[in-house]
A and B are shown apart, each in its own frame.
Chain A
Amino acid sequence: MHRTHVSCTVNGDQVDFLCADSTSLLDVLRDELGLTGAKEGCGTGDCGACTILVDGRVNCSCLMFAPEAQGRDLTTVEGMASAEGLHPLQQTFLEGAALQCGVCTPGFLVAAKALLDTNEDPTETEIRYALAGNLCRCTGYDKIVRSVQEAAARMKGT
């Protein structure tokens, strides 16, 4: 079977992989690269559980053909923590119990990071709109929004 060679950056590391052209980027991340943080919820771009950053912007990795990643800079939830510890969003999600089953959480974390990367002091409305592409069926969203607010406050304070 024909396989396409793709070179890209994933969480700062140069990565090469081979894929069938119809494979989604999400399947490559999970099955080839072992990055199982991003999840397939709906597979149609409605739920946001597969959210990653592509060149710094949120995308549904289930809606990308894997060969589209050629030359792109990808960030997944696995790239958020550093040697010093968890990203402030990960920490406030834990402290604020902003998750129950956790399937949506990697997508929320990446989408929230994208928001705080461009807007260090978002209003609640801005947070809710920025996270509108991510569905959570457990929390009712309130604890997620509060945790993003808390992370924003801590990141501004540092």
Chain B
Amino acid sequence: MKYAAPTTVSGVQALLADNPGARVFAGATDLIPQMRAGRPEPSVMIDLKRIDRLMSVNHVDGCWIVGAAVPTSELTRNAGFTAAHPAVSEGAGLIGSDQIQNRCSLGGNLCNASPAADSVPALIASQAAAVIATAEGERTVAVSEVVTGPGETSLADDEFVIEFRIDDPPPHTGDAYLRMIPRSEMDIAVVGAAVRLTAEGDSVSEARVVLGAVAPTAVRVPDAEAALVGSAIAPKIGDDVIAAVAAAASAACAPINDKRGTIQYRTRVAGVLAKRATLTAAERARNGA
């Protein structure tokens, strides 16, 4: 295995074109353990961390542009980003330990394509887009279009994520991400739930409810969103609406049994987390500008 650290996007593209079996990485916090567990070694490990564009966080024309290789600790430390997109920051701040968060990135969390990836439900709820380098140039897709199944993405072998674009939310928007794990820190999600709500007057005008770790990919819950849109948000969301959100979230689950949680447990907890994330998002929407 060779290591390469190009300083330009075109340098990465050239390496990918010339080296079948090459892989890009930022933190490699999943890739290295996979290699040690016996997965075939890439021919070339292409380090993305020396490319300025992939390591930058900028706010331009009402849009946060986050480099795909930026360590997630840079996002949780960034007060402006965290205020604009608390759910993404909350998800980013739940990935592993401080040691891991100084390495791991949104690009890696997405493209590792774990169903339990903590930043992905919030990125989808925030309508984030991924700018992808292709052999010909660049293309932009919704984050929801990237992961197609466990360990599988819609990216071609010679493609990689350059950056994420997350538009500022509309006025009176609040969001939240919650995760359930069996211990208080340092584990993989049993269920994750991201909710984003926008208020217009005293009612919900837009809603996005996204679950992680309960299906082969992160999933939106259209029935929960439909229950929320048009319902009252101030002074509070009605109990019947909350109950409908929880029921729809549980109904949207198609989880697996594993050592962290059974199908029955995940299904039940998905409803609970969707409910709690909805209440927090609503509170933030009411309190926000």
A interface vs B, CB < 8 Å? 2, 4, 21-22, 24, 43-46, 48, 51, 54, 57-60, 62-65, 67-68, 70, 111, 114, 129-130, 132-134
Contact = CB atoms under 8 A, between A and B. Distances in A.
The 3 A-B residue pairs with the shortest CB-CB distance, nearest first, are A133-B97, A21-B3, A44-B33
A4 B47 CA distance: 15
Given A45-B99, A58-B98, A67 B5 contact: yes
A60 B45 contact: no
Contacts of B33: 43-45, 63
Nearest to A2: B2
Nearest to A115: B98
Contacts of B45: 21-22, 65
A5 to B, nearest CB: 12
Contacts of B172: none
Contact of B186 (A2, A22, A46, A59): A46
Contact of B36 (A4, A44, A51, A132): A44
Given A21-B1, A57-B102, A63 B29 contact: yes
Contacts of A46: 186
Contacts of A44: 32-33, 36
A21 to B, nearest CB: 4
Contacts, number: 79
A63 to B, nearest CB: 5
Contact of B99 (A22, A24, A59): A59
A21 B1 CA distance: 7
Interface string B93-105: 0001111101100
B3 A4 contact: yes
**Most chain B beta carbons < 10 A, residue from A22, A24, A114:** A22
Nearest to B71: A57
Contact of B103 (A2, A22, A59): A59
8 contacts: A21-B2, A45-B32, A45-B99, A48-B97, A57-B73, A58-B98, A60-B99, A64-B103
A45 B29 contact: yes
Contacts of A43: 33, 36
Given A43-B36, A70-B5, A132 B185 contact: yes
Contacts of B49: 68
A112 B15 CA distance: 40
Contacts of B103: 59-60, 63-64
Contact of B100 (A2, A4, A60, A65): A60
B251 interface: no
B241 interface: no
A14 B127 CA distance: 46
A16 B73 CA distance: 29
A48 B3 contact: no
B267 to A, nearest CB: 28
A129 B98 CA distance: 9
Given A22-B41, A130-B98, A133-B98, 18 more contacts: A22-B3, A44-B36, A45-B29, A48-B97, A59-B99, A60-B99, A60-B100, A63-B27, A63-B32, A63-B100, A63-B103, A65-B28, A68-B3, A68-B47, A70-B5, A114-B98, A132-B185, A133-B96
A54 B27 CA distance: 13
Contacts of B98: 58, 111, 114, 130, 132-133
Contacts of B73: 57
B36 A22 contact: no
A45 B100 CA distance: 7
Contacts of B41: 22
B102 A22 contact: no
**Most chain A beta carbons < 10 A, residue from B3, B27, B98:** B98
A54 B102 contact: yes
A68 B46 CA distance: 11
Interface in B1-51: 1-3, 5, 27-29, 32-33, 36, 41, 45, 47, 49
